Amino acid sequence: MKRVFTGIAELYTPYERLEQAALAVQDRRFVWVGAESSLPREYRSWPRTDLGGRGVVPGIVDAHTHLVYGGDRLGEYLQRARGDSYEAILAAGGGIYATVRATHAASEEELYELTRARAHLFLAQGVTALEIKSGYGLLPEAELKMLRVIKKLKETLPQRVFPTLLAHVVPQGWARGEYVAMFCQELIPEVARSGLAGAVDVFCDQGAFTLEETRKILEAALSHGLKIKLHAEQIAHTGATRLAAELGALSADHLEQSTPADWQALARVGTVGTVLPGAAVILRKPFPKARAMWDAGVKVAIATDHNPGSSPLYSPWLGMQLTISLGGLSAEEALAAHTAHAALALGRTDLGRIAVGAQADFAVLDSRKALEGLYRWGHLPLWKVFVGGTDCVAT
């Protein structure tokens, strides 16, 4: 495949802004990026697509989602709106446990169809790569069922899918030590052997896993060649962020209760700090200090944390807008956080950027201004989405 894209009024790479730009794509990757007037002779005879004087940004990367689940938690959402806390609902057997029951009751095909529909909504928002976690199965076979669904999605969706095995909470009726041992000695080895996930995540927090339990699970993952990441410092400060840095995790996610010492640890080793605006706002938690983290040298990423309970969010653009308004990032920084930095949270340097050698994933705004999507709250002027240089969403 060879194609040149012209008629780009404004382009964010995201680190550089270009006007009157053009792109050359071969075999699903960018081979040239620059001013249209400087297009090298060798590309001038290639087939062309004129983008009509529109703005272009890299494909959005969503590096933290819980997209596979059964049922919904509208009732819980209404409870919280009346003042009940997330922690109290979880302790009473609701929250995550309610979704576990609904996910157990759904067949693989039902879960696949539900998730495929959600993924297409994300594609229509310009999301060209997304991580999808398990974690609503809890029991070994139910977790494997979720991962099989994610594998099928990876094989059939237009987007790039990154499966992650999540240690979410201890199932009701299990002793903690017994469950952690099973997860480390049975589930992780089976997932690594079968290739059903490339990473393991642990929810290290009040009501979930302790720091010691988290270390055991993550060390087991590393011993089987899997990458690691953590839910860290969301509800209480546990030390999970510094554990993430110590073990070389891809990312530490949430970070509402994180401290300057945590940020310094992340910055030293290059572990990404992922903020999840939807969860912070919906649960009425302190908004992560994205500006301070960025200034401390942390590679800050933004993700939707889409899930049925704490963040039923479908819009990465709203997540970026919230991080601009409440987290203190500039619009350009927020775009980088949900593209190039989010790709680093997946262990990829060839996604989330428009540069020679990167995958040719990009979104075209129905505007001459590439950042128009961050200006219009509640309306996304998206025209087309390209994955590997192929048009996947057209108006």
Q: Binding site residues for Zn(2+), as ranges?
A: 64, 66, 231, 305
Burial of 42 (0-12, 13-18, 19+ CB in 10 A): exposed
Indicate the annotated binding residues for N-formimidoyl-L-glutamate: 136, 307, 309
Residues in the annotated binding site for 4-imidazolone-5-propanoate: 73, 136, 168, 234, 310
CA distances from 354 to 11, 21, 201, 312, 336 (A): 9, 12, 29, 29, 11
Q: Give the phi and the psi of residue 285 in degrees, each rounded to 5.
A: -95, 165
Q: Which two tokens stand for residue 115?
A: 């998730």
Strands 127-133, 160-167: pairing is: parallel
**Residues ≥6 apart with Cβ < 8 Å to 302:** 274, 275, 276, 277, 290, 316, 319, 320, 323, 334, 337, 338, 341, 342
User: Which burial class, exposed, middle or buried, applies to 48 when counting CB atoms under 10 A from its CB (0-12, 13-18, 19+)?
Assistant: middle
Counting beta carbons within 10 angstroms of the beta carbon of residue 314, is it exposed (0 to 12), middle (13 to 18) or buried (19 or more)? middle
| Of 99, 78, 82, residue with least CA distance to 90 | 99
Q: Which of 260, 251, 147 minimizes the C-alpha distance to 193?
A: 147
Q: Residue 58: beta bridge partners?
A: 362
Residue 315 CB: number of other CB atoms within 10 A? 20
Identify the three-state secondary structure at position 212. Answer: helix
Q: Following CA atoms 87, 319, 274, 289 in sequence, which dihedral angle do they give, to the nearest 10 degrees?
A: -80
User: 160: helix, coil or strand?
Assistant: strand
Nearest to residue 280, comparing CAs of 292, 271, 289, 293? 289
Binding site feature residues:
64, 66, 73, 136, 168, 231, 234, 305, 307, 309-310
Residue 313 and residue 208: Cα distance in Å, rounded? 22
**Binding-site residues for Fe(3+), please?**
64, 66, 231, 305
Tokens 């990473």: give the residue. Answer: 199
Structure-derived torsion over alpha carbons of residues 201, 202, 204, 210, reported in degrees to the nearest 10: -150
